[in-house]
Amino acid sequence: MGMLAIPLTLVADAQMDSRDQVELIDGESIVGRVVEFRRDVVLVDRRTVPVERIVRWDRFATARKEGAGRGHGADEVLLVGGDRLRCRVQTIDLECVVARWDLLASPTVFRVPLEHVRAVMFSPRKVARIGRRPNVDRVGLSADELLLRGGDRLVGELKSVGADMVELTTAVGPRRVARKSVATLLVNSDLQVMVQRPKPHVRIAFSDGSRLTATRPISDENRLIGLEFLGIETVGAAVSGKARVDVPLPVIRSVQFFGERILRLATRTPERVVHTPFLGTVRPPVIDGSIGGGPLEVGGRWSASGLGMTSRTQMTWLLDGRHRWFCSRVAIDDTAGASGDVVFRVLVDGRRVWSSGPVRGGRAPRKLGPVDLSGARKLTLVVDFGRRADVGDHAAWLDPRLVVE
């Protein structure tokens, strides 16, 4: 595991170019300056906030700060479970991906076990500029696959990726191709394993687009906050698989907290799901992603937990009486652009208790709740048609959760 440390001495300087927003489990938002970040509490201005009550902490920085660390030639390693590392891939073999991450104050080399990797995209920003970014969500192929920049593909067993060449064993024998001609490596899905996440953990978004999962912050006597990455090891550490590295605070965009005080609906199987399309085929909701494809993002802000739906969709969950409140935020996600027009509704035991009114694309998320669930047996979330049928209706329930209080 790699150990990430954030020097608290950087906080004061970084905050001059940013503002922080902390969202609590009951839906309250605190806007101010995060002046200290301990293991159990966060200090926002003069207010002490227990970590167990935080859903997410977002940093809204200046354009100069937000762009720190971006590299146009960087590769992208996509991990099983939704994490991704924007880096410079050095080598790949049968065991792991070795890559350098330049975002850190001191560039660090990481080792990612290949079983945790879904795909590796080589210089994806160059590919995106010419409209050829591939779909990496494939099914049914029990082999590795190389997607070439010219549109061809090779299927077989990956042997190695070096600085200049990629080697693959195919049904007709070994093949060697120039690395610069390879757009994407898709890893055999039969061999993929998701890293087990402890119940308390965090998911962090960085300014270069990297998104990584880590254990909860670990403070030490030097006023540093450590985060132990899950599924990634550091090369050359004094202790095998572990190292402490400095991360400038301005490169962190958000920290999302996962703990025991809430139950996230995205992790719970609903009793009933119904989609009634205006025209065309049925489109089931997407867990932790957009109905338009990809992660859930609104205003450029990523939510690791949520539900993507189109209109008209209903999802119903049975309640067990342990949770008192329901909270969320709702919006049209970024895949719709300025399109989309929906109405969000919440039903408790079949009775409407909240309605958003018209929600359109390109707008900031709208707060929902807390909705009282005392004595309730069923919770239903509804996305309904707006003014333009279902055109662009990429509705997002962000961090929908049941709260124990």
**Residue ranges per structural domain of the chain:** 3-67+195-258, 75-191, 262-403
Average pLDDT by consecutive 10-residue portion of the chain (405 residues)?
42 54 93 80 88 91 49 80 93 94 82 94 67 59 91 94 95 95 94 88 91 75 64 68 62 88 92 90 93 92 95 95 93 93 96 95 93 95 88 94 88
Same fold for the domain at 3-67+195-258 and the one at 262-403?
no
Q: What share of the chain is helix, strand, coil (3-state, %, to 5)?
A: 10, 50, 40
Q: Residue 55: what pLDDT?
A: 95
Distance between CA atoms of residues 207 and 302, nearest Å: 11
pTM for this one?
0.86
Q: Which residues contact 171 (CB under 8 A, 6 or more apart)?
A: 155, 156
Whether domain 3-67+195-258 has CATH 2.30.30.100: yes
Name the phi and psi angles at 14, rounded to 5: -65, -35
Q: Residue 72: what pLDDT?
A: 45
- Three-class DSSP category at 226: strand
Q: Residue 138: what pLDDT?
A: 63
Strands of 221-323 (E only): list them. Answer: 224-228, 233-234, 244-246, 252-258, 262-264, 272-275, 286-287, 296-298, 301-303, 306-309, 313-318
Say which CATH topology domain 262-403 has.
Jelly Rolls (2.60.120)
Q: Residue 307: what pLDDT?
A: 97
Q: Residue 389: what pLDDT?
A: 81
